[in-house]
Amino acid sequence: MLLWAGPWQIGYNTIYAYVDVKDGTRLGLKSTAILFGRHGKACVVLLFALATGAWSFGGWLLGMSPPYVIGMLVIAAHLGWQTWKIDLVRPEVNYRLFLANILTGILLASAAFMGTV
């Protein structure tokens, strides 16, 4: 099955990078949180949209059944909720959102499985 997770991985890792962006900046590290700066939320929205679009397109190319489409809608809502909740200056919120991507992976695997039934 065609699954392009790159934008999703960059998106959730960016959320995590905002957990310690102050330390990363102080230490001279390079991260997407530092690169994106105050535009991080918009960049994560774009990355999550790219991932959801790629997964949906891949499912369409593979002829997945309607449960896959429902799964993609649930995933889109879940990722949308995450981007709505991102707070670039509250590390504790971003850490919980980073962990919420465990559910994203479970939803994606479930959609892929159900889409073949």
> In this structure, what CATH number is given to the domain that contains residue 24?
1.20.120.1780
In the structure encoding, which two tokens stand for residue 112, read together?
């892929």
Q: Is residue 42 part of a domain?
A: yes
Q: Is residue 75 part of a domain?
A: yes
In the structure encoding, which two tokens stand for residue 103, read together?
């559910």
Q: Is residue 48 part of a domain?
A: yes
> Which band of pLDDT confidence, cut at 50, 70 and 90, is reported for residue 4?
low
Rounded Cα–Cα distance for residues 89 and 48 (Å): 20
**Tens digits of residue pLDDT in 13-36:** 999 999 999 888 899 999 999 999
Q: Is residue 1 part of a domain?
A: no
Tell me the residue type at 17: A
Q: What percentage of residues in the chain have a pLDDT greater than 70?
A: 96
Q: Helix or strand or coil: residue 86? A: coil
Give me the numbers of helices (H) and strands (E) for the chain, helices first please.
7, 0
Q: Which domain holds residue 50?
A: 6-115
Q: Is residue 68 part of a domain?
A: yes
Angstrom distances, CA of residue 40 to CA of 17, 25, 37, 68, 106: 10, 15, 6, 29, 25
CB burial of 42-52 (b: ≥16 within 10 Å; e: otherwise) equals ebbbebbbbbb
Q: What's the rounded mean pLDDT across residues 77-93?
A: 95
Q: How many domains does the chain have?
A: 1
Q: Is residue 80 part of a domain?
A: yes
Structure confidence at residue 117 (pLDDT): 84
Say how many C-beta atoms besides its own lie within 10 A of residue 28's C-beta.
7
Q: What percentage of residues in the chain have a pLDDT greater than 90?
A: 87
> Which band of pLDDT confidence, cut at 50, 70 and 90, is reported for residue 2?
very low
Rounded Cα–Cα distance for residues 23 and 13 (Å): 16
The model carries a pTM of 0.90
How confident is the prediction for the chain on average, in pLDDT? 93
